[in-house]
Chain A
Amino acid sequence: MSQSYNRGLVEDFGRWKEFTAGMWAWIFHKFTGWMLIGYLFTHIAVLSTAIGAAGDTAAIQAETDIYTTTIQGLEELFIVRVLEVGLLAVAVFHILNGLRLLMVDLGIGLEAQDKSFYASLILTGVITVASVPTFMKGVGF
């Protein structure tokens, strides 16, 4: 039999001091979700340079087309690499916590939902730190 809880207004972020693991997981999932959809629009905008590059075979061969120079120009910037590491952290957390949510939806391991949130956080940290050398290659590492 289901139990009834009076949780108050969960969406009231002013109550953050009362939040438990599950609430933080919920907030982090929203926050990383907003970042990812925002990035998707930016990503398609940058990749749209491919439309202008297509067809100019000589420039494509010489790697001087607008798509190649735009991406390589961005990748030369230190701040872009830092943002990419940030994007990876955001995506990894959203993926791991998303898997946790699918388990919660299926009713699997409900009693360990707080522990699986902490595991998602730690694993995100480890994967992000381990990826730094790869992401920063050529800009100081």
Chain B
Amino acid sequence: MAERYSSFVPGGTAWLLQRITAAFLVVVLAFHFFQLHFVNHAADVTFQGTQARMSNVGYFLTMVLFLIAGAFHGLNGVYNALVNQGLDGTPKKVVLAVLTIAGVALVVQGTYVALAMAGWT
């Protein structure tokens, strides 16, 4: 029987979600870069242009989902990197709590920003 090297629990929800969000992020992150650096140049971004994009419901929902997936994938990745480095016991619980709060705050703030961009605030 081989030792298991990964901090992820096979079959665990976080393990699966990390991979599902990965597959989603590959597509949407590539789209996001292409959209805002090649189709539109970042230097030409204006509130009007942003509002035109964000007030499209499909785009808005994609961006909010992008934010949620990115926040989860990134913070879960950070958490697992720290567990790999030997994080354990109470510090592990504290780090998990801090990362969770940071993630929720990021998603709340980001969603509010998206609503403001769309002109729905």
Contacts and interface: CB of A to CB of B under 8 A. Distances in A.
Contact of A50 (B2, B37, B86, B117): B117
Contact of A33 (B5, B19, B81): B81
A54 B70 CA distance: 25
A21 to B, nearest CB: 16
Q: How large is the interface on B (under 10, 10 to 19, 20 to 34, 35 or more residues)?
A: 35 or more
A33 B26 contact: no
Interface string B49-75: 011000000000000000100110011
B117 A54 contact: yes
Contacts, number: 110
Contact of B106 (A4, A5, A33, A40): A40
Contacts of A137: 41, 43
B46 A68 contact: yes
Given A40-B71, A67-B50, A95-B26, A102 B45 contact: no
Contacts of A105: 19
Nearest to B42: A75
Interface in A54-105: 54-55, 60-61, 63, 65, 67-68, 71-72, 75-76, 84, 88, 91, 95, 98-99, 101-102, 105
Given A71-B42, A95-B30, A105-B19, A37 B75 contact: yes
Contacts of B50: 50, 67
A7 B2 CA distance: 12
A121 interface: no
B2 A60 contact: no
3 smallest beta-carbon distances between A and B, as pairs: A37-B74, A2-B2, A75-B43
26 contacts: A11-B84, A34-B81, A36-B74, A37-B75, A44-B67, A44-B106, A44-B109, A47-B113, A50-B113, A51-B121, A54-B119, A54-B121, A60-B46, A60-B47, A65-B47, A67-B47, A71-B45, A72-B43, A75-B42, A84-B42, A98-B25, A99-B26, A101-B22, A131-B37, A134-B38, A138-B43
Given A33-B78, A137-B43, 6 more contacts: A11-B86, A36-B74, A37-B70, A75-B42, A95-B29, A134-B41
